[in-house]
Amino acid sequence: MGGVTSSVAAKLAFFPPSPPLYEVVTEPESGVVRLSCFPHRENVEVLRLPTRRGTEIVALYVRNPLAASTLLYSHGNAADLGQMYELFVELSIHLRVNLLGYDYSGYGQSSGKPSEQNTYADIEAAYKCLVEIYSAKEEEIVLYGQSVGSGPTVNLAARLPHLRAVILHSPILSGLRVMYPVKHTYWFDIYKNIDKISSVNCPVLVIHGTSDEVVDFSHGTKLWELCNKKYEPLWLKGGKHCDLELFPEYIKHLKKFISAVQKSPSQRSTWRRNADQFELSRMSTSRLEPSRMSFGRRERSKPSTAKSKSKDQTSPNVEKQEKMKISFDKTEKSRRSLDCFRLSGKHVADQPDRGRRSVDRLDRIWAG
């Protein structure tokens, strides 16, 4: 039975980019390991992680010196680390989090073949890496699952009672329900999130596009309704399956969520009440329009409260944070070198996969 299920899953659910969009290379002089299509960054590490099912997966760790949380990101179906690299760097900077992304078995330069059970072992290996290598605590980790990545994300979250939070981006109710509107769960179905989400005991943010052409919008709304600890969802009007990162509301809402879950439990009571009172039918959609104004310009147009506070607070910790912010400004400027690299014709945007087209334009949307 299990073999049949894995076979069905592999044929219907997994479409790794072929050929892979990167190679893992080691610099002969320095010994630095990096992805072939990107220059080395001081805050980015490339790792190979063994899994309990005998495969070896490639992972990418992005460090942020200001981070109070760590994001464990499980990407979508037709993507690999070569396509996700720039998004991971952007998220780490804008959300001020450490981030670990990984390729499933059979994706990118990870060994083995993709299957439901292998992805469960893959995310466990990634989580183990965060705890054992980077000393992350369960209470500091946020699981992020995009599309098919919601499967391993929910499966792991249901078994970790002290997680900081979970983010579900264009999630699925189950594999079979993506294709057919079945009302019952069958033995051969995969990624049965609909049956597991009620076991997740941490705050959950659901993000979904109302015009998703791959995973119907109803998957996101149903999962949100079944969550124990709901956070105000982000329903992006007109958003499709692969373009949600282009909406300025995307990063704005993520920032708000990360900030909220980093507060003490007593401080979270307000957003919990707001989520309980949230009514889907009455939510204003005007603020969810894909505004053409860039995220960066929106940020610059607002008075900086951070600067005013820094003048009033002159403690050594504040001064240290200011210095770190300056260094991170330099990091953002260094991303321009990646833009030039992208124009050289070797960037992943030249690949036919449409699943990560949104990544190619993130700098213009977020940085203005």
**DSSP states along 178-228:** HHS--SS--TT----HHHHGGG--S-EEEEEETT-SSS-HHHHHHHHHH-S
How many whole angstroms separate alpha carbon 121 and alpha carbon 113?
A: 12
Q: Burial level of 313, CB count in 10 A (0-12/13-18/19+)?
A: exposed
Token representation of residue 141: 């980790």
210: nearest Cα among 231, 187, 188, 235: 235
Q: Which of 69, 147, 150, 170 is catalytic?
A: 147
Task: Average pLDDT across each block of 10 residues of the chain; the chain has 368 residues. List them in order.
Answer: 53 85 94 95 97 98 98 96 97 98 98 96 98 98 98 98 98 94 91 97 98 97 97 98 96 97 69 55 43 40 42 45 46 38 37 40 49
State the distance between the two ends of the chain, measured CA to CA, in whole angstroms: 52
Question: What would the DSSP string read from start to end of 267-332?
Answer: GGHHHHHHHHT--GGG---GGGS--SS-HHHHHHHS--HHHHHHHH---HHHHHHHHHHHHHHHHH
pLDDT of residue 13: 75
Show Cβ contacts of residue 115 under 8 Å, excluding neighbours closer than 6 positions: 6, 9, 10, 14, 105
| Distance between CA atoms of residues 139 and 134, nearest Å | 14
CA dist., res. 227 & res. 163, Å (int): 14
Q: Is 219 a catalytic residue?
A: no
Report the pLDDT value the prediction gives residue 353, as an integer from 0 to 100.
41
Q: CA–CA separation, 80 vs 30, rounded Å?
A: 26
What are 44's strand-pairing partners?
A: 62
The C-alpha atoms of residue 357 and residue 84 are separated, in whole angstroms, by 11
CA dist 238 and 240 (Å) reads: 6
- For 26, half-sphere exposure in the C-beta direction (CA atoms, 13 angstrom radius) is 4
Active site residue 147: yes
Q: Are 210 and 235 in contact (CB under 8 A)?
A: yes
Structurally, the chain folds into a number of domains equal to: 1
Q: What counts of helices (H) and strands (E) characterise the chain?
A: 14, 10
CATH number where 62 lies: 3.40.50.1820
Q: What are the backbone angles phi and psi of residue 307, rounded to the nearest 5°? A: -70, -40
State the residue range of the domain holding 150.
Answer: 2-367
Q: The dihedral of CA 271, 274, 276, 280: what is its sign?
A: negative
Examine the residue annotation and report whether 94 is marked as an active-site residue of this protein: no
Q: Tell me, rounded to whole angstroms, the distance of Cα 280 from its chain centroid.
A: 24
In this predicted structure, what is the pLDDT of residue 263? Answer: 87
Q: Which of 208, 219, 241, 253 is catalytic?
A: 241
Name the active-site residue from 103, 189, 212, 216.
212
